[in-house]
Structure 1
Amino acid sequence: MANPLKSPSTIAAVLAGATGIGLILWAWDLPPFDTAVETTDNAYVRGKVTFVAPQAAGHIAEVRVRDFQQVHAGDVLVQIDDRIYRQNLAQAQAQLEQQQAGLANWEQSKASAEAAIAAAEANVESAQATLRAAQANWDRTAPLRERGVVNQVDADDARAALDSGRAALHQQQANLEIARQDLQTVQANRASLVAAVDGARASVELARIDLDNTTVTAPEDGRVGQVSATVGQYVSAGTQLMGLVPDRVWVVANFKETQVAGMKAGQLAQIRVDALGRDRLTGHVESFSPATGSEFSVIKTDNATGNFTKVAQRVPVRIGFDAGQPQAERLVPGLSVEVTIDTDAAPDRPAEGVAAAN
């Protein structure tokens, strides 16, 4: 009797079953196919793309760059017609000069008020001296009049001189007080004049800033994207003129939460770039996202309602390119890459203060 275990159909069925089980174990990274090497193709080159926009409104007078041109920080990108802004600056400077002249006049008024006080004080001293002389004359005349040595007319003249001296002294003292009050009034006006000068100076600075803003410059080194600005176009504050892509780029790889257990900052990463013919570049893990990608989505999921199905979440991992790789200079933000990290490998560079994923 033939052994059924040796029949071709039985052998084929056993091989098919073993192959199926092996494929399942391999697909789920289960023993003996589990590995510490984690790979994801959900990864992209990233960079800080700055959209250049003016802070001043006006017609574009000149566009000095073309699409995809390399620029350096401070290079002029677009020049806006600045005639109105130049006149605004000239007007503000004229206002400043006027306010400064008013403050200079105040200094002159203060000097005049102080001189008037000095003159009033001298007049008071003169009136006091006249009063003392009149008092002394009266003190001599009054006893002589009682003894009949001096006639009544001379006595009346002496008395009148004394009264006149007192009145003159009171008048000069009043004039001195008026001069002092005038000085107080002049000094009180200084605060408003200084404030007017400061306000005019601030207006000049604002007008100068507005004038400077008519020249749109590159904020940092990089390459411009497509230039949408055209000569004669009217732009307002915030109008996007072009994009600027800095030279420094990195990779954000979105690993599943089941893949990051052994990842640490400083570990070596192998990066394959589709746009470079799948050339292999190297980099190192720099940092890990503080939350999964779903937490940063606009529409958040609510797992507390309906039927729940567990879905592995993605953790964004930032990877920086190693220096000395000429091919890396061709990378631009948005390119697709494939990242591989051996989680059993020890970090071979400092973590720079970034906590590991586990």
Structure 2
Amino acid sequence: MADSALTDTPAEAEPAPASPAKKRRAKIIILVLLGVALVGGLVWFLRYQSYGKFQQSTNDAYVQADSVTVAPKVSGYVDRVLVAENQTVKAGDPLVRIDARDYRAQAQQSEAQIDVARANARGVEAQIAEQQAAIARARAELAVAQTDASFADAEVARYAPLAETGAETRERVATLRNQARQASARVAAARAALTAAERRVGTLRAQIAQAEAQAEGARAQLDAAQTDVGATLIRAAIDGRIGDKTVRVGQFVQAGTRLMSVVPTRDLYIEANFKETQLGLMRVGQPVRIEVDALPGVEIPGRVASIAPGTGAQFSVLPPQNATGNFTKIVQRVPVRIALSAGPAARALLVAGMSVEVSVDTRSARDAAERIAREQEAHNERIGR
């Protein structure tokens, strides 16, 4: 029965050999695929050598803006808040008003001090006018005294010879001489009175100068008070949008307290943190392709505006000290500022802090590495000599 079973089971059909035409077609397809792969690889290699290896990209990049912190110059209670969160403002627009009554009172007090100083100056000027009359009287008294002294001297000169001859008594001459001395003393007293009266004018002029100085000091205080009054109305320093607003009506704010920020939406830029190994051919002015995560598929052109003078670690609050403890080398990153050339529609959607990806085309400096190497070799040779 086993033999009959083996005999009755049909034998498995062997695969028919492939025809020569099919083999030839398969070989052609393989050759075509290899050719396409070879051409594609060659194209990729040529493009990489001429373009790809000069593209330096990073996703450690963010939209930035040099925002302005709004803070009061003076302290006081907030009287009004004139803007809302996220509101667009222009430079000079009022933002916050602080109660200015105390500062206005200080200004009025300074004005009163100025008036008092001016009144004092006018009073001293009136005293100077009176003193001029006193000087004139002192000069007249001096003239009278000098006349009396001259007359007394003349009398002594006339009677002295007569007394020598006995025509006049000596007592008469002694009396005349005494009168002459008294007249001379009156001249000295009158001259001293005139000098005192004239010097009094100088003293009064000094008082005027003092009053004017007091007026100037009060005027300076008035200017400061008026400046404080003007500072109670806080205005926007730049165009932008209001953000991080924390001020409320009735709140007491100290000078320098942060109230809000004004973000200049028209002056946005990109800060990209490239690895130090990517900066060899990077130069200011090179073109940049920018892709914002919030705008997928949209490519924004830009250019390299500047390169930081140090790595991010150097400008951190606590820079690393590699000379202490164990050392592990970490590739550092250098901030690069990139200027945007976004259109109005794209710029309206950009805000500070957004994540972006940037790619810098460094082909303009493709020969820089070789040139630097040649210059360094020449410099080394000069030093070796």
Given the two structures, how large is their TM-score scaled by the length of structure 2?
A: 0.74
Q: Is the 8 A contact 1:281 1:328 kept in 2?
A: no
Q: Name the structure 2 match of 1:94.
A: 112
User: Larger C-alpha radius of gyration, 1 or 2?
Assistant: 2
Pairing 1:236-315 to 2, within 5 Å after superposition: 236-246=254-264, 247-315=266-334
Q: Is the 8 A contact 1:60 1:79 kept in 2?
A: yes
- Determine helix, strand or coil for the equivalent of 1:128: helix
Q: Name the structure 2 match of 1:15.
A: none
Q: Name the structure 2 match of 1:55.
A: 73
- Determine helix, strand or coil for the equivalent of 2:180: helix
Q: Name the structure 2 match of 1:193.
A: 211
- Rounded to whole Å, the distance in 2 between the matches of 1:276 and 1:156 is 124
Superposed displacement of residue 302, structure 1: 2.8
- What number of residue pairs does the alignment pair up? 319
- Determine helix, strand or coil for the equivalent of 2:313: helix
Structure 1 segments unaligned to the other structure (5+ residues): 1-25, 348-358
Superposed displacement of residue 316, structure 1: 0.6
Q: Is the 8 A contact 1:267 1:346 kept in 2?
A: no
Superposed displacement of residue 207, structure 1: 1.1
Cα distance per residue 1:141-184 (max 9 Å; x no partner): 33345556567887676445433322221210221232244234
Return closer, same or farther for 1:227/1:110 CA change in 2, 3 Å cut-off. Answer: same
Question: Given the alignment of the two structures, is residue 235 of structure 1 paired with residue 256 of structure 2, yes or no?
Answer: no
Question: Quick one: which of 123, 129, 143 aligns to 2:161?
Answer: 143
- Rounded to whole Å, the distance in 2 between the matches of 1:32 and 1:288 is 25
Q: Name the structure 1 match of 2:357.
A: 338
Alignment-mate amino acid for residue 237 of structure 1: A
Structure 2 segments unaligned to the other structure (5+ residues): 1-43, 367-385
Q: Percent identity over the alignment?
A: 40
Superposed displacement of residue 197, structure 1: 2.3
- Rounded to whole Å, the distance in 2 between the matches of 1:152 and 1:294 is 114
* RMSD over equivalenced CA pairs, Å: 2.9
Question: Quick one: which of 171, 175, 196 aligns to 1:178?
Answer: 196
- Rounded to whole Å, the distance in 2 between the matches of 1:236 and 1:230 is 13
Alignment-mate amino acid for residue 310 of structure 2: A
Q: Name the structure 2 match of 1:119.
A: 137
Alignment-mate amino acid for residue 277 of structure 1: P
Superposed displacement of residue 65, structure 1: 0.7
- Determine helix, strand or coil for the equivalent of 2:330: coil
From the two aligned structures, give the one with the greater helix fraction.
2
Question: Given the alignment of the two structures, is residue 79 of structure 1 paired with residue 101 of structure 2, yes or no?
Answer: no
Q: Is the 8 A contact 1:82 1:211 kept in 2?
A: yes
Superposed displacement of residue 317, structure 1: 0.5
Q: Is the 8 A contact 2:291 2:357 kept in 1?
A: yes
Superposed displacement of residue 244, structure 1: 0.8
- Determine helix, strand or coil for the equivalent of 2:336: strand
Q: Is the 8 A contact 1:71 1:221 kept in 2?
A: yes
Cα distance per residue 1:167-207 (max 9 Å; x no partner): 22121022123224423433444554343222212111111
Return closer, same or farther for 1:337/1:126 CA change in 2, 3 Å cut-off. Answer: same
Question: Quick one: which of 318, 324, 328 aligns to 2:347?
Answer: 328
Given the two structures, how large is their TM-score scaled by the length of structure 1?
A: 0.80
Cα distance per residue 1:21-52 (max 9 Å; x no partner): xxxxx9xxx99997111110100111112221
- Rounded to whole Å, the distance in 2 between the matches of 1:34 and 1:283 is 18
- Determine helix, strand or coil for the equivalent of 1:311: coil
- Rounded to whole Å, the distance in 1 between the matches of 2:127 and 2:136 is 14
Q: Name the structure 2 match of 1:217.
A: 235
Q: Name the structure 2 match of 1:42.
A: 60
- Determine helix, strand or coil for the equivalent of 1:293: coil
Superposed displacement of residue 227, structure 1: 2.8
- Determine helix, strand or coil for the equivalent of 1:319: strand
Alignment-mate amino acid for residue 285 of structure 2: G
Alignment-mate amino acid for residue 68 of structure 1: N
- Rounded to whole Å, the distance in 2 between the matches of 1:333 and 1:213 is 29
- Determine helix, strand or coil for the equivalent of 1:264: coil
- Determine helix, strand or coil for the equivalent of 1:258: helix
Question: Given the alignment of the two structures, is residue 67 of structure 1 paired with residue 94 of structure 2, yes or no?
Answer: no
- Rounded to whole Å, the distance in 2 between the matches of 1:344 and 1:51 is 40
- Rounded to whole Å, the distance in 2 between the matches of 1:273 and 1:131 is 109
Q: Name the structure 1 match of 2:150.
A: 132
- Rounded to whole Å, the distance in 2 between the matches of 1:307 and 1:68 is 48
Superposed displacement of residue 254, structure 1: 0.5
